[in-house]
Each structure stands twice: as structure tokens, then as C-alpha cells.
Amino acid sequence: MTEPVALRASVLITNYNYGRFVGDAIDSALAQTWPHVQVVVVDDGSTDESRLLLETYGDKVHTIVKEHGGQASCVNAGIPHLTGDAVIVLDADDMLDPTAIEKTIGFFADPDVVKAHWPMATIDRYGRPTGAVRWQKPASGNYRQQALKVGPASHITPACSGNFWRRSFIDQMLPLPSGDLANVIDSVLFTFSPFFGTFRAWHEPLTLYRVHGDNISTRFSAGIRLRLWELRAELLHQWLTDQGEEISIARWRAMNPFVRRLQSVLKAEARIGAHLPKTAAIVLVAGQHYDRQDIAPQRPVHRAPPSLLAPERVEADFREMIDDVREGNIQAIVVQGPATWESTNLATLVRLLRDEHHVVHADDWIVIATIEPQGQNDDSNLPLVDP
């Protein structure tokens, strides 16, 4: 990596009713070991204790208070106040490693770099590590041709708080769109960034990603994600057409792995329903793309904890989960398919299901196994899964 040369950084924290978390985010930004860091917080019309907490930071933080308008409006309001050459847009429920900026700001000495990014280690609502690390292999290099080929979602990238952007790129993206894309501004930036420069990856987690049960991303079913992809595709198609490129959204749909995954998830219930009654309970061992809303509303669904997706999980962990499923009188376990197993050890779980239970369906996107219950306990007593 090029030696850092007096580059300045800004951390822009967007907050709406996260008073219970935003102090941790601010403290993590103020604790950066790189000396040239500005911290700006935009409060999006919070009605909780957020504003009282923000007042306690005095002039250590540049605070902007505005009416509620969504994350895009926060970034649009905050960017003109930034002094940094590069910017981290930090969600108010996440935290930065103290060395995040020091370790990565030197990438921007290369004028072709549009962003640096890194994996994110998950923590629970109380800040305790869960053992899971997300987005372990972020993209590095030039992805322009890939983005021309497949459209939005052209590369592996962490969520918002794991990205460090060149300020001049974000300036060119303003104003960020409102409407349905107002709270997914990171996906808008991901869509256009391959056409503005290259990416650089740091392969150790430098952000703590808090999973607390009310994350915005958990509200997005596969159907919603697919609709948001279509909106991004329309924006990119118009922009590229204005640049003289000849591209086709239909071709993007056919070529894009992210779209194919979402389309497959939307068909998950049809596959489950072919083997189980619609009222049969299941345990779902899968990431956020496999949403409860995409499965028949009559079906009881228990989600396995995200920690089971961590690569550190071993056979004993999966056996314990299977034993709890059997004791809870759950009829089946549904696992995300092998096309999504990168950075997990789900292959071990599926091997156990094949060897000791009954795998009734398996394809690239979903594996369904029936489990013989040991007792007649109520579903709600299942200790290791969350309804």
C-alpha cells in the first residue's frame, strides 16, 4: 500500500432514533489513531434521546439536526460540511476499529482508487462478539467491465459501514435519490462506483456490525431486494446510455448472480411445499437474503442464530442445533444452498443431514432435510433458534 501522505478523513454518521447505539459509533470515530479525522453526525429528526446525547459531545463533533427524510437526505445534508479527502459513512448502530482509517487511508494516494473496504465482524445488541465475520472477501481491482456485463451488484462489498469512499466520487453522486432508495444509499454508491475507479480491499475486519433485531437490512425480503435492484438498474441504464454505452437490463437480469439468487429464494417455498405441509414448522439456517416474508405465512419458521453461519462452527455445534430441533418437535431444517456457502462451514451441517437424516431436496440455493422428532415439545421451546 502507498505510504499515507497527510490525507484527511471524515466520518459521517447518520442517525435516526438510535440513541442507544449512536454514542458507541461516535466514540469509535473519535478514537481513530489517524490524526486527521473529522466527525460529523447528521440526526434525521430523531424522537428518542439521540439529540440530548449528541449535545454532550460539544465541539468534538460537528452535529447537524434536520427533519426526518431518510438516510439519503442525511448524506446530502452532511457532505457539504466534510473536510476529508475520503469519507466513511458510518451507520449509527455500528462501530469502527480504532485503526480503520490509519490502515486504509494510504490507498487513496493512488488517484485511481474510488474506495477501500473490508470485512465486518458482527456483534449483538449489547456489543458482544457473535463470532461471525461478514463479507470476508471484498473485491479488489477494476470492476468496470463486470458492471457493464451484469449491472448493479457487480462485486462483493460489505454493507455501508465497511466502505471508505473518495470524497470527490460522492460529490458527483449528489444528490442521492429519495423514494424507495432513500435508506439504501450504499447500494446506490456500489452501483456506480465501478465506473469511477478501482477498489482496494483490506482483508481483516475493521468495522463492528451490530445485529440487534431492528436492522434496516433485516426488513428486506428477497422480493423487496429484487425490486430495489430493478430501481438501481434503471438509474444505471439511463446514466450509461447518456454516456453512449449500449446495454440491456434484460441481459443484466440473465447474467447477474445476485438476481439469480433472489429469484431462487423467491421459489424457496415452492420447493419446501413440495415436501412438507404448509403448516409444518422448519428451522431456517440461512443469511438475510432468505427472509421470512418469502415463505408461506402459515408456516412456522424459526431462524437459526447468525453465529451458525460463521466459518468457525464445527460438527459439534451443528449436532447441538440438530438435537435442539428434534427435542423441539420441528419437522425439518432448511439450509441455504452450496452456491452461498463461501465463508461458512455449512457443508459440514449438510453432510450430517445427509448421513443421519433425510435430505429430500438439494440444489445450488436450498437444501431441505426432514428430521424425526424425539419428543412432543411445543415449537416455542426451541432454545438455539429465534422465532
Instruction: Write phi, then psi, for 291 (nearest 5 degrees).
Output: -100, 150
* CATH code for the domain of 374: 3.40.190
In a domain, 130, yes or no: yes
Residue ending a domain, choose from 215, 249, 284: 215
Is the whole model's pTM more than 0.85, yes or no?
Answer: no
In a domain, 238, yes or no: no
Q: Read off the pLDDT of each residue in 257-262 and give the average, rounded to a whole number.
A: 88
* Residue 45 Cα distances to 16, 71, 137, angstroms: 7, 11, 36
Residue ending a domain, choose from 149, 184, 215: 215
Least confident of 28-42, 177-191, 209-223, 235-249: 209-223
List the one residue out of 274, 169, 172, 187 whose CA is nearest residue 228.
187
- Residue 174's domain comprises 9-215
C-alpha 191/C-alpha 232 separation (Å) is 7
Q: What was the pLDDT predicted at 307?
A: 83
In a domain, 195, yes or no: yes
In a domain, 146, yes or no: yes
My answer on whether 98 and 204 are in the same domain is yes
Residue ending a domain, choose from 198, 215, 232: 215
In a domain, 160, yes or no: yes
List the one residue out of 333, 274, 273 whose CA is nearest residue 301.
333
Which residue type occupies 286? A
The residue ranges of DSSP E strands in the chain, in sequence order, are 9-15, 37-44, 62-66, 86-91, 95-96, 113-117, 120-123, 129-134, 163-166, 198-201, 207-210, 282-285, 301-303, 332-336, 358-362, 366-370
* Residue 236 Cα distances to 181, 220, 307, 313, 362, angstroms: 13, 21, 35, 39, 35
* CATH code for the domain of 121: 3.90.550.10
Instruction: Write phi, then psi, for 266 (nearest 5 degrees).
Output: -65, -20
My answer on whether 38 and 132 are in the same domain is yes
My answer on whether 199 and 128 are in the same domain is yes
Q: How confident is the model at residue 377 (pLDDT cuts 50, 70, 90)?
A: very low
My answer on whether 176 and 39 are in the same domain is yes
My answer on whether 141 and 209 are in the same domain is yes
Q: How confident is the model at residue 373 (pLDDT cuts 50, 70, 90)?
A: low
Instruction: Give yes or no for a contact between 155 and 194, defined as CB atoms under 8 angstroms apart.
Output: yes
My answer on whether 32 and 135 are in the same domain is yes
My answer on whether 286 and 168 are in the same domain is no
Q: Tell me the per-residue pLDDT of 323-332, one tens digit each, with 9 for 90 and over.
A: 999 988 898 9
My answer on whether 207 and 289 are in the same domain is no
In a domain, 225, yes or no: no
My answer on whether 206 and 285 are in the same domain is no
Q: What was the pLDDT predicted at 358?
A: 94
**DSSP assigned state of 126:** T
Q: How many domains does the chain have?
A: 2
Q: What was the pLDDT predicted at 379?
A: 46
Does residue 142 carry a pLDDT above 50?
yes
C-alpha 209/C-alpha 132 separation (Å) is 10
Instruction: Write phi, then psi, for 199 (nearest 5 degrees).
Output: -110, 150
Which residue type occupies 240? L
Q: What was the pLDDT predicted at 344?
A: 85
Give the cell for residue 200: 482496494
Beta bridge partners of residue 122, listed in sequence order: 209
My answer on whether 49 and 157 are in the same domain is yes
Does residue 380 carry a pLDDT above 70?
no
Q: Which helix (H) or strand (E) holds 362?
A: strand 358-362
My answer on whether 171 and 280 are in the same domain is no
My answer on whether 306 and 180 are in the same domain is no
CB atoms within 10 A of CB 306: 18
In a domain, 26, yes or no: yes
Q: Read off the pLDDT of each residue in 91-95 and give the average, rounded to a whole number.
A: 96
Least confident of 165-179, 217-231, 302-316: 217-231
Does residue 219 carry a pLDDT above 70?
no
In a domain, 63, yes or no: yes
